[in-house]
Every structure is written in C-alpha cells, then in structure tokens.
Amino acid sequence: MTLFLTDVWERFSFYGMQAILVLYAADPVAEGGLGLPGTTAAALFGVYMAMVFMLALPGGWLGDRVLGERRAVLYGAVAIASGHYCMALPVRGCTFLGLALIAIGTGILKPNMSGLLTRFYGRGEAVKREATFSLFYMSVQVSALLAPLVTGLLGETVSWHAGFLAAGVGMTLGVAQFAAGRSSFGDAGAAPSNPISRPELLRVVRRAGLVVAVPAAALAADVALGTFAIGHVLAGLGLTAMVVPFVGYRALRRHPDMAAARPRLSGYFRLLLAAALFWMGVGQAGSLLNLFAQDATDRTQFGVTIPAAWFQSAIPFFILVAAPLFAMLWLRLGARASVRVKFVLGLAFAAAGFQVMSLAAAAASDGPVSPLWLVCVFLLLACGEITLGPVGISAAADAAPPAFRNRVIGLWWLFCALGVAVGSRVVHFSDPLPDAVYYLFLSVVLAVAAVLLTLGSARLAGRPPTTRRRARRSSLCEQGTPIWWAILGLNQ
C-alpha cells in the first residue's frame, strides 16, 4: 500500500507536469510562458522525455550498488518534488533547473521502486508478483488520466506555475506517504544488493566527472562568447540520447559472457529499432499534438472551453478501456499473436493515427476542427501502445541469459529514449513543411517500418535455417508473450 500510493502521487506529478510543459514553453512571455517557438518547445519536451528514459539506467545502478532501493526511492522523490517547486517559481532559469531535477529524480525513483517491490516476493510467488504489478499499472493509468485534468485546468485558467505547484504538492504527498510507511518494509531495500567498493566508487566518480566536464566546458564557452541559445543544449542532449543506445548495445553484445546469446540479441536489435521509430512518432502526442489541440481545435463545446491539456488524458483512458479487449484477443489468437505480429500491428496503429492526423491538419487549414479528430488519433495511438509496448520488455527475457536480463531491459529504455530524441529533432521539419505533409511523412515512415519488419522476419522464418545462428536469430521475432503483459498494456 505504501509503494502503491507513493507511485500514484509520483505518476500524478509526472503526467500533470508533462501535460502542460509544451503549452507553457510555447506560450508568449507576456502571458506567463517561456515564449519559445512551437518546434523548439516540442524539442524541449522530447529531450526532457529522452533524458527521463536514459537516466533510469544510472538510477538503477545507484540503487543496486550505492544507495539501496529504499534510499534511492526517497532521494528520487525529494528531487522530483524540488523540481516541481522550482518550476512553480515564475523565474525562467528555475524552469530548466526544475526539469533537470525532475528528470534525475524520476531516473532514480522508477527503477528502484520496481526493484523494491520485487523484494517482497520469493521463488514460487510469480503470480502474486504479477498481480501486484498489475495494480501498479492501474495506478499509472489512473494518474495519467486524472493529472492533466487538474494541472491543465489550473495552468490554463490560473497560471502555468499554479499547475506545476499542484504537481509538486502531489509529489510531496508521495514523499510523506513513503516516509511514513517505510518502517513496514523490514530490511528490504535498506542496503544495496551488490555494494560497490570504495576504490571502484572513486573510479566511477572520476570517470563521471570527466564525462560531465566536457559538455560543461562547452556550455561555459558558449555563454562566455555570448552565443548561448537553449537550442544548443537541446541539440547536445539529443545527440547524446542518439549515440548512447548504440554504444550500450555494442558493449553488451561484445561482453564475453554474452557469446552464446549474441544471435538472439541481434534478433532483438530489430525490435529495438522498430520501438525507436514507434516512439519517434508517438512521443509527439505530448508536444505537437498538444499544440494542435490548443491552436487548431475547436475546444468550445456546449458553451464550455475545454483546456487543451485535457486531451492528454485521452490515451490513458483508451488504454484502460481497450487493454482487456486486447487481452481477450491475444488469448483467442494464441501463438499466432507472436512478438513480430504485435510489433507490426503496433507500428500499423501508429501509422494509421498519423494518417488521420494528416487529414485533421489539412482540414484545420480552413479553421479550427472538431475535437473528434484528436480523439480518433489518440485512440489509434493508444492501441499502438497496448500492442507494441509491453511485448518489447517481455521479449528481453528471451534475448539474453538471466544474469543480463536487467541490462537488456535497460537497452529497451535506451532505444525508447533514442526514438523520443530523434523525434525532438524531426519536429523541426514541421516548420518548412505543411502540417498535413509532416504528419503524412510520420505515417509513411511508421508504415514502411511495419512492412520491413514483416518482410524481414517472414524471410528469416520462411527459409529453412542453414545454421543454428540463423534459426536462433529468427525465432525471437516469432515467439509469443505472457498474457499478463498484454493485460497490463504499456509498462511504465
């Protein structure tokens, strides 16, 4: 109960802030916003999301080797709350400091929250553990549904900073809940599971310092020369998010203990690339599509103006409604609903969503369009998330030996970050291109990815394997997935 309620409030703060971030960033300074161009605001959103994904890896390492899950969750929650309160201050610099604190805190809290939860279940208790994670997933979707309604109303009718303050209050309640209930944990998560030695910790600190020093020096030089612009920071962070996933994949593949599993990891690599393309498009639901809701949608219905941020509640609502239906479908299809089939369907749903979005953008050239356009788009994107999202993590269990499972799951999040980071650069094409053409471009890219994944996997599966390596590589894209992942939908 303690972890559940902590997660409810943490997700409330996360999705509440996320729903209004791009609207705040694009709002004119005179009206309380940052005054960024729409594409720059969308890029800021994309880079922020990519950093949240990427920082989960060092955050999990801190819990495993240095802090223990319990302290990691507490410290992460405090950092998140501090970040929201920074963003509640009407000072431009505090916004970026707040985003950094929230990204760091979320990266520390989320992997260690899951790790702490698993400590309460031993061998032979997989069913109980899965049932518990299903409850946690419900907390994610309920929070994602309700948070935009609260922060969107405050942000668009009172002030953006009031919306950020509401998110901070939600996270503070989560911190209080965790601090009050952690005495019931016993020894679980009190100490790191694999403590790091002091000499090794010093080496890690030195290396991390060198990694941070280079971009810090570049930033200082940019400021000193008077050429600093927020776009430079976004470009640097985006480039990092594009490079690190491939470095991580290469390092894991070359690990001596991974020799026997390399063919399967190579098969999983295709799925990682497909996931990156999926999130390149779907990750823009909170940025460009949010701006479309504000600027090109007729939000006055029955005499009431709907806050633009409220549309961000559509995807979690559709996931809650549709997940049981998809679960029944997977049960009926059985082995025919393979990993490959679900990835192809997920990409196809997303491609269809952006096809509809292209039509909506074309219709908007004559004036604001019906909100039903966006509702239809979000329904298709939600179906894509339900179909593709959970399968990638589940397939990680088949892609590597048990000792490497967490690292392969970490690769999944890195490639999700890659997709969002690429999306943060792709949004700049929406300036020279007509909106209808831009969304059609996204639709075509996703559709081509679905076709290539179908043809590539079918080719491998259709030929008699001439080597054991080929057989093992092709099998990953043909395996089924545990049904509870389908019931849960997209794992957060």
**Same domain for 306 and 192:** no
Same domain as 365, residue 451:
yes
* Tens digit of each residue's pLDDT (9 = 90 or more) over 356-414: 999 999 999 989 999 999 999 999 999 998 888 777 766 766 676 766 666 677 788 88
Pair (468, 334) in one structural domain: yes
Q: Tell me if 175 is assigned to some domain.
A: yes
Residue span of the structural domain in which 263 resides: 259-492
Residue where a domain stops, chosen among 170, 196, 222 = 196
Q: Is residue 220 part of a domain?
A: no
Confirm whether pTM is higher than 0.75.
yes
Q: Is residue 211 part of a domain?
A: no
**Which helix (H) or strand (E) segment is 62 a member of?**
helix 38-62
The reply to whether 225 falls in a domain is: no
On whether residue 114 sits in a domain, the answer given is: yes
> Are the CB atoms for 156 and 145 separated by under 8 Å?
no
> Would residue 236 count as lying in a domain?
no
Within this chain, do residues 341 and 466 fall inside the same structural domain, yes or no?
A: yes
pLDDT band at 469 (very low <50, low <70, confident <90, very high): very low
The number of distinct structural domains making up the chain is 2
pLDDT at residue 234 in the model: 79
Same domain, 192 and 267: no
Based on the domain organization, do 190 and 263 belong to the same domain?
A: no
The burial of 131, by beta-carbon neighbours within 10 Å (0-12 exposed, 13-18 middle, 19 or more buried), is given as exposed
- Select from 179, 196, 213 the last residue of a domain: 196
Q: Do 378 and 452 belong together in one domain?
A: yes
CATH number at residue 71: 1.20.1250.20
| Pairing state between β 300-301 and 304-305 | antiparallel
Residues 160 and 281 in one domain: no
Place of tokens 């920074």: 86
Residue pointed to by tokens 């319990």: 70
Inside any domain, residue 277: yes
The average pLDDT across 85-102 equals 92
Domain boundary among 196, 214, 229: 196
- Using pLDDT thresholds of 50, 70 and 90, give the confidence band for residue 131: low
Residue of 49, 13, 304, 314 lying closest to 156 (CA atoms): 304
The pLDDT, as a whole number, for residue 89 is: 94
Could you tell me if 159 and 283 lie in one domain? no
Helix ranges restricted to H, 262-399: 262-282, 288-295, 314-333, 339-363, 372-399
Q: What is the arithmetic mean of pLDDT over 49-75? A: 85
At residue 485, the pLDDT reads 39
**Are residues 362 and 302 in contact, defined by beta-carbon separation less than 8 angstroms?**
no
Cβ(236)–Cβ(215) below 8 Å: yes
Q: What is the pLDDT of residues 412-450, one digit of tens each?
A: 888 988 998 899 889 989 889 999 999 999 999 999 999
Does the residue 433 lie in any domain?
Answer: yes
